[in-house]
Structure 1
Amino acid sequence: MCSNFASLSQPSYLVPGYTGHCPTLKFQFGKCYGTNTKEILKDLYDIGVLHKYSYTPLEDQTKLESLLRSPDNRRLGSKARTRPYILGYTGYIPGMRYHFGTTFRKAADECADELCKRILADESKRVLDNALRPLSPIISIRSNGSIDMALHESHEQLKYRDEHISAEFPPIAGYTGHLPHQNSTDVSLSQRFFTSAKLGLSKLKKQRETFLLQQKLQNSPCMHPHTRG
Structure 2
Amino acid sequence: MTTVAFGGGPNLDQRRSFAALRDGTHVPGYRGYCPQIKYRVGKTYGTDTHELAQDTIHLQPASVLASAPEGLRTTKNVLPMATGDNKYTEKMIPGYTGYIPRMPFKFGNTYKEDCDFCIDEYMTNRKFNDTKTMDLKRQVAGYPRLTAISHDPEVRDKLNLYRDTHPNRPILMDDKRALTEPPVPGYRGYIPRIKTTEMGLGARYNRTTKRGLEMFAQETAASAQRITGTLPASIERVPTDVLQGSQGDSSKRLYLTDGMIPKYTGYVPQRRFAFGNTYGDTTRGLEVCAHPLNSFGDFKRSRTSVM
More helix by share: 1
Larger Cα-atom Rg = 1
Q: TM-score, normalised by structure 2?
A: 0.19
Task: Select the structure with the greater relative contact order (CA < 8 A; seq sep ≥ 6).
Answer: 1
